[in-house]
């Protein structure tokens, strides 16, 4: 009798020990090497996905407040470059609802967000803000939202016109002396009609210490020199997308899209 009980207990022990539930994926944060049956509990560390937009002026490195010569022979200093990107996604996989690029405040970074880079071999989105959100209460967005009035600041015109989608400001020396920057430029493109889509395929994410990154480029020389609609800073220096300024606003919108590349 004693021998029978012993054999029964031993067999039970072995049977129980053969089935150990847990996370069986060695790539998971909570991988359990002793588990032999996956119970669905695996958790994975998110990579930090960064998208940087690196400005340049043709082949030159770009810096705010530095002078660059235009094709007309003027000298231009850009003092601010800001723009909104929204609904950045690949199919149904949304990477980022909205991001505000502010070269002076956040340098080249457009957004940094946890995620799985493998989902984003392509990215499509809007330059600007969808009309529903564009006319919402700017005080009602969370404090960390780039749409909150505290963060949007002068990128928000008001509830009716909404947000400025693209803001490029600077000064031009049209006398080409190199030290007579007294001609202001202010390109403010917004309102619903200037929302535009953009996107990139075949994205190559570059590994970083804590995730992956994309490096996009914004070429300010291409922005000014687009052969289809070049901007002459001497005569085209001010638009707020209002009446009488729509042609230049359209140029800014179109040229910006051409200047932004991966």
Partner 1 sequence: MRAFFFYFVISMLFLSCNKDKTTFTPIPYAINIPSHFPEMEIPQDNPMTEEGIELGRFLFYEIKLSGDNTMSCSSCHLPEYGFAENTSFSTGIDGISGNRNAMPLFNLGWEDFFFWDGRRNTLEGQILGPVPNPIEMHQEWKEATNKLNADVNYRNMFYRAFGEEGIDSIKVSKAIAQFLRTIISSNSKFDVMYKYENSLPLSPSENEMLLTVEAEEWAGYDLFKSLNGADCFHCHNGPLMRVKKFSNNGLDGSFSDLGRALVTNDPNDEGKFKVPSLRNIELTAPYMHDGRFNTLDEVIEHYSSGIHISSTIDPLIEFAGQGGVQLDAQEKFLIKKFLLTLTDTVFINNPNFKDPFN
Q: Which is nearer to partner 1, 160 or 202 (CB)?
A: 160
Please report how close the Cβ of residue 157 comes to partner 1 at its closest, in angstroms: 7
- Measuring CA to CA, which residue among 209, 204, 207, 233 is closest to residue 221? 233
* Residue whose structure tokens are 């944060």: 29
d(CA 8, CA 12) in angstroms, rounded, equals 6
Q: Which is nearer to partner 1, 13 or 63 (CB)?
A: 63
Please report how close the Cβ of residue 51 comes to partner 1 at its closest, in angstroms: 24
Q: Which is nearer to partner 1, 61 or 160 (CB)?
A: 160
Please report how close the Cβ of residue 179 comes to partner 1 at its closest, in angstroms: 9
DSSP string, 5-58: HHHHHHHHHHHHHH--EE---TTSTT--TT--EE-S----PPEEEEEEEEEEET
Please report how close the Cβ of residue 245 comes to partner 1 at its closest, in angstroms: 9
Q: Which is nearer to partner 1, 78 or 120 (CB)?
A: 78
Encoded tokens for 205? 């994410």
Q: Which is nearer to partner 1, 26 or 139 (CB)?
A: 139
Binding site for partner 1 (CB under 8 A): 64-65, 79-80, 137-143, 148-150, 153-154, 156-159, 169-171, 181-186, 238, 240, 242
d(CA 206, CA 190) in angstroms, rounded, equals 32
In this structure, is the dihedral angle defined by the CA atoms of residues 209, 214, 220 and 221, taken in order, positive or negative? positive
Please report how close the Cβ of residue 240 comes to partner 1 at its closest, in angstroms: 5
Q: Are 143 and 150 in contact (CB under 8 A)?
A: yes
């Amino acid at each position: 009798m004693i021998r029978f009980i012993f054999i029964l207990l031993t067999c039970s022990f072995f049977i129980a020990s053969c089935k150990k539930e847990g996370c069986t994926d060695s790539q998971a944060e909570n991988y359990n090497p002793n588990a032999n049956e996956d119970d669905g509990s695996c958790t994975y560390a998110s990579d930090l996905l960064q998208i940087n937009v690196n400005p340049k002026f043709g082949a030159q490195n770009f810096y705010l407040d530095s002078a660059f010569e235009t094709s007309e022979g003027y000298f231009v200093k850009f003092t601010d470059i800001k723009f909104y990107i929204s609904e950045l996604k690949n199919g149904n996989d949304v990477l980022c609802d909205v991001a505000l690029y502010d070269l002076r405040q956040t340098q080249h970074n457009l957004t940094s967000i946890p995620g799985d880079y493998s989902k984003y071999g392509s990215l499509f989105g809007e330059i600007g803000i969808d009309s529903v959100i564009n006319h919402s209460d700017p005080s009602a967005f969370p404090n960390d939202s780039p749409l909150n009035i505290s963060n949007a600041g002068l990128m928000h015109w008001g509830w009716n016109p909404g947000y400025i989608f693209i803001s490029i400001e600077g000064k031009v020396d049209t006398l080409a002396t190199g030290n007579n920057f007294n001609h202001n430029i202010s390109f403010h493109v917004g309102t619903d009609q200037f929302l535009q889509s953009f996107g990139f395929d075949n994205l190559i994410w570059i590994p970083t210490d804590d995730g992956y990154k994309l490096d996009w480029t914004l070429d300010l020389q291409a922005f000014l020199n687009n052969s289809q609609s070049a901007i002459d800073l001497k005569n085209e220096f001010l638009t707020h997308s209002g009446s009488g300024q729509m042609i230049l606003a359209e140029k800014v919108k179109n040229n910006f899209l051409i200047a932004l590349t991966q």
